[in-house]
Structure 1
Amino acid sequence: MFFATAGIEIAPWVPLLVAFVISFFTSMGGVSGAFLLLPFQMSFLGYVSPSVSATNQLFNIVAIPSGVYRYWREGRMTWPLTWIVVAGTLPGVLVGAIIRIRYLPDPKSFKIFAAVVLLYIGTKMVRDLLGNRLATKTNSTGKTAAAPHVQVTRFTLQTLSFTFNGEQFDAPVASIFVLSLVVGIVGGIYGIGGGAIIAPFLITLWRLPVHAVAGAALMGTFVTSVAGVVFYQAIAPLYSNLSIAPDYPLGILFGIGGMTGMYLGARCQKHVPAQAIKWMLAAIIVSIALKYIFEAVQ
């Protein structure tokens, strides 16, 4: 099957299968998997034009609702946290899209930028894991108790407090908003909506439980991805010399595979130890970052 915008020809089952496998695992950590689909498209499919970022965000739009639905159904959506993340990342992702088009259209420059972002996230996660600083506040097996639910106890302009699995957690609203704004810019450049960046920070900086923040991170990524795709599509006519708008058939195929993977991943998440989820994400992120650095040096 030929995808005109991407300029590539592959079998339709390839994006379906790749997106399913990636999303099944990454959705457990509150990440859609778009940050892994991007290097797959660039390195394996040869899709390196700026429109790959928009295609990645289209994948988020199609795939994420199934995972969010599952977290909501099981009572693990922390809605106030979701809206804080959205309020910060939404304007940031639009700024990031402009930076991507104007200053990072060259694939080599973009790969260097992506490597720096991924390496920072991955090494931070590894350092915290090795230092035993990830406080997931679960039982000794790392699994949540039977049918745990998020219960918001306080939400002001200063503090968000909620209980989960018998423990109380507090998070600074202003700090999360500022961080969301910054990661929104980075996410807009990278074409991932920001969820892949905000989720590890919520867990490592404020020690929020991965089982309670995953749904919020995914929902934040969904909203900002909608804005990102609309923005890329709107400005495409202004850049006739560049491929800006998403490749809709490719993005939808990735999205369908991701939709199934996210639903199953969200359903299985409560049975998987939080430490195992974070080690998996950290290993993948660091390996991709090192690969990009190697390619840049070469």
Structure 2
Amino acid sequence: MVFHTAGIEVAPWIPPLVAFGISFFTSMAGVSGAFLLLPFQMSFLGYTNPSVSATNQLFNIVAIPSGVYRYCKEGRMVWPLTWVVVGGTLPGVFIGAFVRVNYLPDPALFKLFAATVLFYIGFKMVLDLLKRKKDTSSKISSEQQFQDMVYRHRDTAVLSGVIASSTLKTVKVTLFNLRRIGYTFYDQAFDVPFWGIFSLSFIVGIVGGIYGIGGGAIIAPFFVTFFGLPVFTVAGAALMGTFITSVAGVAFYQIIAPFYPEMSVAPDWLLGILFGLGGTVGMYLGARCQKFVPARVIKGMLAAILVFTAAKYVAEFLGY
């Protein structure tokens, strides 16, 4: 099948199959999978026009709702955190889209930018995992105790034959104002600064707007590593923020497309929808299976993928 906007030809079953495989694993960490789908499009499909960023965000729009629905159903959406993320990332997305079209249309430079972003995130996650492993060699950390508590609760439910959304306790918001955001999960309290989250979201929105990922791949690791929030509760907020900012991003790319007739700016709607259909199934199943996978495994998997993808981009930029 020929996709005219993307300027590529590929069998119609490949995009949904690839998106399913990526989304199943990445959605467990609150990431749509767009950060991996973009290198697949550029490196394997040869889709390097600026419109690939918009197509990637279109994938988010189609695929994310199923994962968000699952997190909502299980009561693991931290809504105050979600709305602050959305409020911060939205203006950043518009800035990022403008920068992408005007200053990073060249595929080589764009890959170098992407590699820088992914390397930083992946390297930070690797350091965090190694540090926690060292800390737990002498004593069990508070996070590990928290994870053990979650899995003991889950295992008790499994042994008693209860496999339902009630196998995990719900999030309870305790504080939400212009200074702090607080909530409890499994009787453990979490508290983060409002403006710290907002500022991070704004910066992430710019980067996500350039890269075409909505920001979930960046903001979820930051929530876990810098703010100490459990991956079980940030995943839904990161996905919801990515969805809303992706809607804004796709609309912006579509609106500015007529002003750049010499290049492909608007998304390839057919390709994006095919990716999204596969991602819908993968994201729903990933969100459903997340509570059965240790958070450390999820973070380790993401870190490995991030570093590998970044290294591949740098190698391509250097001509290897």
Q: What is the alpha-carbon distance in structure 1 between the residues aligned to residue 267 and residue 187 of structure 2?
A: 44
Q: Aligned residue for 2:158?
A: none
1:232 maps to 2:249: no
Distance in 1 separating the partners of 2:181 and 2:169: 19
Of 261, 277, 280, the match for 1:259: 280
* Cα RMSD (Å): 1.3
Contact residue 62 and residue 273 of structure 2 kept, 8 A: yes
Contact 1:144 1:271 in 2 (8 A): no
Q: Secondary structure at the match of 2:201?
A: helix
Counterpart-to-counterpart distance in 1, 2:124 and 2:150: 21
Matching residue within 133, 140, 143 for 2:151? 143
Counterpart position of 2:56? 56
The one-letter amino acid of 1:47's match is Y
TM-score by length of 2: 0.91
Residue 139 of structure 1, CA deviation: 3.3
Looking at structure 2, the residues matched to 254 and 68 of structure 1 have their Cα atoms a distance apart, in angstroms, of 17
Q: 1:109 to 1:76 in 2, by over 3 A?
A: same
Deviation at 1:297, TM superposition (A): 1.0
CA distance in 2, matches of 1:137, 1:99: 44
Matched length: 298
Distance change (3 Å), C-alpha of 1:228 and 1:44: same
Q: For 1:183-217, what per-residue CA distance to the aligned partner results, in whole angstroms no more than 9, with x for missing partners? A: 10000000001111000000000100000010000
Structure 1 contact 138–144 (Cα < 8 Å) conserved: no
How big is the shift at 1:102?
0.4
- Inter-partner Cα distance in structure 2 for 1:180 and 1:144: 34
Q: Which residue of the partner structure matches residue 66 of structure 2?
A: 66
Amino acid at match of 1:83: W
1:158-186, Cα deviation, whole Å (9 max, x unpaired): 11110012211111110010010001000
Is 1:292 equivalent to 2:300 in the alignment? no
Q: In 1, Cα distance between the equivalents of 2:227 and 2:44?
A: 36
Question: Does residue 164 of the first structure (1) align with residue 172 of the second (2)?
Answer: no
Instruction: Provide the secondary structure at the position in 2 that maps to 1:171.
Output: strand
Greater radius of gyration (CA): 2
Corresponding residue number in structure 1 for 2:18: 18
Task: Quote the residue 2:223 is aligned against.
Answer: 202
8 Å Cα contact 2:147/2:294 also seen in 1: no
Task: Give the Å deviation of 1:142.
Answer: 6.7
Aligned pair partner of 1:281 in 302, 306, 319: 302
Q: 2:197 aligns with which of 158, 165, 176?
A: 176
The change in CA–CA distance for 1:144 and 1:60 in structure 2 (over 3 A counts) is farther
CA distance in 1, matches of 2:199, 2:145: 25
| 1:140 Cα offset (Å) | 2.8
2:22 matches 1:6: no
Identify the residue that residue 113 of structure 1 maps to in structure 2.
113
Equivalent residue, structure 2, for 1:104? 104
Name which of 230, 238, 262 aligns with 1:241.
Answer: 262
Q: Would the alpha carbon gap of residues 85 and 137 (structure 1) be closer, same or farther in structure 2, given more than 3 Å must change?
A: farther
SS in 2 for 1:48: coil
* Amino acid across the alignment from 2:58: L
**Unaligned regions of 5+ residues in structure 2, if any?**
136-140, 154-166
Q: Equivalent residue of 2:184, what SS?
A: strand
Question: Tell me, what secondary structure is at the counterpart of 2:227?
Answer: coil
Do the aligned partners of residues 81 and 136 (structure 1) sit closer, same or farther apart at CA in structure 2, a change above 3 Å counting?
A: farther
Paired residue type of 2:65: P
Q: Which amino acid aligns with 1:31?
A: V
**Alignment match, 1:271:** 292
Q: Secondary structure at the match of 1:131?
A: helix
